Amino acid sequence: MTNNFDFAVVGGGLVGAAIGYGLAKRGLKVAMLDEGDVAKRASRGNFALVWVQSKGLGMPAYATWTRRSSDHWGTFARELEERVGFSMAYRRPGGFHLCLSQDELDRRAANINRLHNQGESEPYRIDVLDGDEIRRHLPEVGPEVVGGTYCALDGDVNSLKLFRALHEGFAVEGGHYRSGSLVQEIAGAQGGYALKTDEAVVHADRIVLAAGLDNVRLGKMIGLDVPVRPLRGQVIVTEKTEPFLDMPLSTVRQTDEGGVMIGDSQEEADDYRVMRPGINAVMADRAVRMFPRLANLNVVRTWSALRVYSRDGFPIYQESPTHPGAFVASCHSGVTLAAAHADLLAPLLAQGKLSSDLDAFSSRRFHVSATA
């Protein structure tokens, strides 16, 4: 088994796999080092939106990055599907966010307004609609919905198929995937890095840490403070039912296979094995008020997963100032950003230098504000 690579990607979730796939298809010899079968794995718990509306309030660069990924998603999906030979059910029909009270709608509208005022390089439209307008577009929406927002740029995908496709695409491009390879130690060696796992020592000229919450631990090994924390979310999935919803909502979507996903909550908590029944009750109640027809569907699964949240909620992409050629990529929204990671970030990593438009994502922003 070879242990010398051009690039080692630490982490085999959606972020690591997208970067790994992007590097491998550019001809690099890449290792993807992953944990075992039972791990935190945000990638198994996501809601599968390719989402634009409302993202980036507080950081215009993130709004732009999200938009670029979303705009590139179609091309990225087609290319990946050609490689692996199955569809990921990606679509971009626009998406809604629904509100069940005037207070919710007012807060939502205020946020959208602030986002507009923040200024965009390529402004896009978000419509604030009242309940009747919503029901004209989505006739099944219940009477308790008072309004919502719509953005034509939103879409979704079957995220499990995306996850599998990235891994298969990586394999097709000659990437080396190794599970059960938790990295214990990173040391400089032979002009590159030596990553020690329980099984082996992997050498790579360059490395990128895409290990979700574990980037906190790993970052220290390359001289980087990566301030991310877990933000727990819960998701409910119903049995399959006939198609009734042909576009995604921020909290309700019907998958290509027919099941309905209901999300999503946010809670400061770090145990992915715990689920709050009360939260499921609130989510179920709201979903039924949004779509009364859901009431009689059987729930077949619920789960909780940990989002990887930085202090301001925005991604961290950065090269270590002390360890050249060692990068970090930390973010939530690994589905939306998959296209950017594979085809915008990976080429920069392949060249060995991040471009200046990614400066905003450096973790230096936290340290500046801490001393200011």
Partner 1 sequence: MRRITVAAELADHYDIAIIGAGPAGMSAAVEASLAGATVLVVDENTAPGGQIYRAVTRHSRGHDDVLGADYWKGASIADPFMAATIDFASSTTVWSLDPAEEPSAHATIGLTLAGSARRVEARAVILATGAMERPMPVPGWTLPGVMTAGAAQIALKSIAAIPEGPTVLAGCGPLLYLLASQLLKAGADITAVLDTADAGQRLRALPHLPAFLGSPYFAKGLRLLVDVRRQTRVISGITDLAIDGDAHAQSVTFRRGRRSETLPVRTVLLHQGVIPSINLASSADCAIRWNEHQRAFQPEIDHLGRLSVPGLFAAGDGAGIGGADHAAVEGRIAALGALSDLGLITQGEAETRLAPLKQERRRYRRGRAFLDILYRPAQQFLSPPDDATIICRCEEVRAGQLRQVIELGVPGPNQLKTFIRCGMGPCQGRLCASTVTEMMAEQRGVSPAEIGTYRLRAPIKPVRLSELAALPQTEDAVFAVTGRRPEPSTNPKGPNL
Residues found near partner 1 in the complex (CB under 8 A): 34-38, 43-44, 101, 103-104, 107, 160, 163-164, 167-168, 171, 177-180, 236, 238-239, 257, 262, 265-267, 273-288, 294-303
- Shortest spacing between CB 321 and partner 1, in angstroms: 33
Q: Between residues 238 and 363, which has the closer beta carbon with respect to partner 1?
A: 238
Phi (first) and psi of residue 169, to 5 degrees: -60, -40
- Shortest spacing between CB 312 and partner 1, in angstroms: 17
Q: Between residues 61 and 284, which has the closer beta carbon with respect to partner 1?
A: 284
Q: Between residues 109 and 299, which has the closer beta carbon with respect to partner 1?
A: 299
- Shortest spacing between CB 126 and partner 1, in angstroms: 18
Residue 16 burial by Cβ neighbours in a 10 Å radius (0-12, 13-18, 19+): buried
- Shortest spacing between CB 70 and partner 1, in angstroms: 24
Cα distances (Å, whole numbers) of residue 167 to 84, 178, 253, 308: 9, 11, 25, 21
- Shortest spacing between CB 234 and partner 1, in angstroms: 8
Residue 144 burial by Cβ neighbours in a 10 Å radius (0-12, 13-18, 19+): middle
Q: Between residues 219 and 263, which has the closer beta carbon with respect to partner 1?
A: 263
Here the tokens at position 277 are 């029944």
Q: Between residues 180 and 347, which has the closer beta carbon with respect to partner 1?
A: 180
- Shortest spacing between CB 52 and partner 1, in angstroms: 20
Cα distances (Å, whole numbers) of residue 120 to 60, 93, 139, 154: 7, 22, 33, 17
What is the chain's alpha carbon radius of gyration, rounded to the nearest angstrom?
A: 21
- Shortest spacing between CB 280 and partner 1, in angstroms: 6
Q: Between residues 299 and 358, which has the closer beta carbon with respect to partner 1?
A: 299
Q: How many residues does the chain have?
A: 372
Contacts of 144 (CB under 8 A, 6+ apart): 100, 289, 290
Cross-sheet strand order for the sheet of 267-268: 252-254, 260-262, 228-238, 267-268
Residue labelled with tokens 């998603």: 73
**Identity (one letter) of the amino acid at 118?**
Q
Q: Between residues 25 and 68, which has the closer beta carbon with respect to partner 1?
A: 25
Q: Between residues 180 and 321, which has the closer beta carbon with respect to partner 1?
A: 180
- Shortest spacing between CB 266 and partner 1, in angstroms: 6
- Shortest spacing between CB 260 and partner 1, in angstroms: 8
N-to-C CA span, the chain: 50
Q: Between residues 257 and 270, which has the closer beta carbon with respect to partner 1?
A: 257
Here the tokens at position 268 are 């400061």
- The C-alpha angle 213, 45, 139, rounded to 5 degrees, equals 135
Quote the strand ranges of 198-255, DSSP E.
201-209, 228-238, 252-254
Q: Between residues 10 and 350, which has the closer beta carbon with respect to partner 1?
A: 10
Here the tokens at position 30 are 């890449």
What sign results for the dihedral spanned by CA atoms 237, 243, 245, 248?
positive
- Shortest spacing between CB 171 and partner 1, in angstroms: 6
